[in-house]
A and B are shown apart, each in its own frame.
Chain A
Amino acid sequence: MSSRTVAPSLIARVPGVAIALIVLCTVFAFASARFATPTNIANILVQSTILLLLALPMTLVIMTEGLDLSIGAVLTFASIILAVIVIATGSLALALSAALAAGLCFGLANGVLISVLGIPPFITTLGTLGIAQGLSLLVTDGQSIVGIPRSIESLYSGSLAGIPLPILIATLAYAVTHILLYHTRFGTYIFALGGNREALKIAGISVRGMLIGVYLFSGLMAGFAALLLTARLNSAHPTAGIGMEFDAIAAVAVGGTSFERGNGWLFGTLLGVLAVGVLRNGLNLLAVPSSAQVASIGALVIIALFIDGLRSEP
């Protein structure tokens, strides 16, 4: 391969999201004196952890040419289950297990509907989004659940050896996902599933089982994210996680994972999560209302997809 072809492919691959991140950081550093402070940067990192927990499985889902629109609503529902059970029994272990089970149930439902019944992923997860949202409203009657033990709050605000606990949890999740995707047979099949489904079938791999596994992983991570969300808010609310799936999809898209062809890049997703986190934090500092932040993230996604489309031109 000559250097003529290497240089453009490097430019095409690495920077995209990294450049976006640098540009965003530079702009906000000039626009607000409070942006480039150690406290604020630590803040961005901690606040990005919940999003990372959702964006990691979303990367895998999108690599299989799927989509999980339900993850925000499932996160909300799991958080409500967690809060209800921890208040009723006082046992965090029991509550977390129930939250994880709730996430897994939705993951299983998504996976089965998509792979066994052949319903397209976006419509399946749109339907289960409605179901999870409905269940959340039914359980809470539209009210917040408060009175969660203090010990849970410390899960979000506490630290171990100087490192905030959420960062440790997120690092662990990233490491697990990385190993799963790049160092197991399951991960290799995920790459194949998006890229060449037929080859996988011919090789005798159970595509159904794979898809169910991917969506189960998505539900499981939503359950863990529910723990962080509940600890962060110190309450559970039926609309708390609504729209989080959008930030997660945005992070994955900005991170360079392609919606068609199964090209995934987990580190890109991490950078994408940071880009979304920086964008939200910077706009917050500039006192831009959260509604306008949503619109700007929408614009970010469209730009990222546009670039993605340009890159795929032969």
Chain B
Amino acid sequence: MNKQTTGRADIAAPPRFGFSSNVMQVLYRLLAAALLCMVLASLSDAFMTENNILNVLRQTALLFLMASGLTLVILTAGLDLSVGANIALSACLAASVIKATGSASLGVATGIGCGTFVGLANGLLVTALRIPSFIATYGVMWMLTGLTYFYMGGQTIHGFPPAFRQLGSGYLLGIPMPVYVMVLFLAIGTFFAQRTIWGQQVYAIGANPVAARLSGVPVQSRLVLVYTLSGAMAGLASLIILARINSAEGDIGENLTLPAIAAVLVGGTSLFGGSGSVMGTLIGALILTLVLNGMNLLQVNASWQPLVTGVIVLVAVWISTLTRPSDE
């Protein structure tokens, strides 16, 4: 793999991660995505159709939105396993609010509010109660799953106002709406991570929490922030999914967490924290979407998808352990 120049020694001074290493990482992955496109185009005639390309873009956008907040969490060497369950609860609450009030904006507020609240709870469990992040968010995942099924009681809520549905299935200038949302949050996320003090502190915490604390980074409050942001992005993603499929069920978030984690890791963000980028996650989401889309086009049984995603996660982490500076 590529060289990681972001060593651990240079953390004490607030890191200005060399643009070059991030850019190279992204370029390598773009190249991989382009190769994947060429392979798929040669294997299936259906790949290069306008319909399919728009579909890939829309799926990529969705996956990116779920994974963008998660990227920040993983940059701090944490993990958020509750993303999928958070999406399910947020989508179901938003759906019932829209149904009850007929107001799309109230629904949007509910979805994002619920997601943010769950994220905040995760952050507090990890910081105030000092529970390891993967255990805390895993417990929260099951609580949310239980609550969602309990709340829905096996029912489906469907049929939303056209204005709301635009968010997921609408087009502007021939491009799906979610793609615009994706570009917006790519810009915000990249600016936050690369160009603000808070973003740099997130990198510093992931690279070496002790050094970060000693150099005056408010570690606890930054951690709460990244989990809250991850929750908020899950809430936003839930709305777009809701608007796209036009119905909400208890199992709406099933099988979303693993692909989101895979997108972050394939995008080059290290599970051990401190290196990676939001832009990388976009490419990761694109690569994963291309793989799953290709399997669809080649009529591979959908049952293969969790298996393939699992393998992709393992390979991606394995690669990041190879390039990880050894601390033993």
In the complex, chain A residues whose CB is within 8 Å of the CB of B258: 126, 130
B139 contacts A122, C-beta separation under 8 Å: no
Judged by a CB distance under 8 angstroms, whether B60 is at the interface is no
Q: Whole-angstrom distance between the alpha carbons of A138 and B295 in the complex?
A: 15
A15 within 8 A of partner (CB)? no
Tell me, yes or no, whether B3 is within 8 Å of chain A by CB: no
Task: Among A119, A297, A302, point to the contact of B314 (Cβ < 8 A).
Answer: A119
Whether A128 sits at the interface, judged by CB under 8 Å, is yes
| Bitwise interface map of B from 197 to 224 toward A, beta carbon under 8 Å scored 1, else 0 | 0000000000000000000000000000
Q: Complex Cα distance A230/B78, Å? A: 37
Question: In chain A, residues 237-293, which have Cβ atoms closer than 8 Å to a Cβ of chain B?
Answer: 243, 246, 249, 253, 259-260, 289, 291-293
Of A67, A138, A249, A291, most buried by chain B (CB within 10 Å of CB) is A291
Point out the residues of chain B lying under 8 angstroms from A119, CB to CB: 314, 317-318, 321
A234 at interface by CB-CB < 8 Å: no
A67 to B136, CA, bound (A): 13
Given A119-B318, A291-B145, A309-B130, A298 and B150 contact (CB-CB distance below 8 Å): no
- B302's nearest neighbour on chain A, judged by CB, is A137
Q: Any chain B CB within 8 A of the CB of A203?
A: no
**What's the nearest-Cβ distance from chain B to residue A295, in Å?**
3
> Does B138 contact A246, Cβ atoms closer than 8 Å?
yes
B308 interface residue, CB < 8 Å from A?
yes
Count residues on chain B whose CB falls below 8 Å from chain A CBs: 42
Contact: B321 with A130, CB < 8 Å?
no
Would you call the interface of chain B mostly helix, strand, loop, or mixed?
helix
- The answer, yes or no, to whether A299 is at the interface (CB within 8 Å) is yes
Task: Say yes or no: B303 contacts A127, CB within 8 Å.
Answer: no
Contact A295 B150, beta carbon cutoff 8 Å = yes
Task: Specify which chain B residues have a CB less than 8 angstroms from the CB of A177 in the assembled complex.
Answer: none
Asked if B311 and A131 make an inter-chain contact with CB atoms under 8 angstroms apart, the answer reads yes
Size range of the chain A interface in the assembly: 35 or more
**Residue of A67, A131, A294 touching B145 (CB-CB under 8 A):** A294
Contact of B142 with A298 in the complex, beta carbons under 8 Å: yes
Flag whether B162 is at the interface (Cβ < 8 A).
no
Tell me the smallest distance from the CB of B306 to a CB of chain A, in Å: 4
User: Once the chains bind, are B131 and A305 in contact (CB under 8 Å)?
Assistant: yes
A257 to B150, CA, bound (A): 30
Contacts of A67 in B (CB 8 A): 134-135
Question: Is residue A301 contacting chain B, with contact meaning CB distance below 8 A?
Answer: yes
Bound complex: CA A249 to CA B142 (Å) = 12
Q: Indicate whether A302 sits within 8 Å of B139 (C-beta atoms), given known contacts A117-B321, A138-B304, A291-B149.
A: yes
Further contacts, 7 of them, CB under 8 A, given A117-B318, A122-B138, A289-B149: A122-B79, A122-B134, A141-B303, A291-B145, A295-B144, A301-B139, A302-B140
Q: What are 22 A-B residue pairs whose CB atoms fall within 8 Å in the complex?
A: A67-B134, A67-B135, A117-B321, A122-B134, A122-B138, A123-B79, A126-B258, A126-B310, A127-B310, A127-B313, A130-B309, A131-B306, A137-B306, A138-B301, A138-B304, A291-B145, A291-B148, A292-B147, A293-B146, A294-B145, A295-B147, A302-B140
Interface residues of A (CB under 8 A from B): 67, 69, 113, 117-120, 122-124, 126-131, 133-135, 137-138, 141-142, 243, 246, 249, 253, 259-260, 289, 291-299, 301-302, 305-306, 309
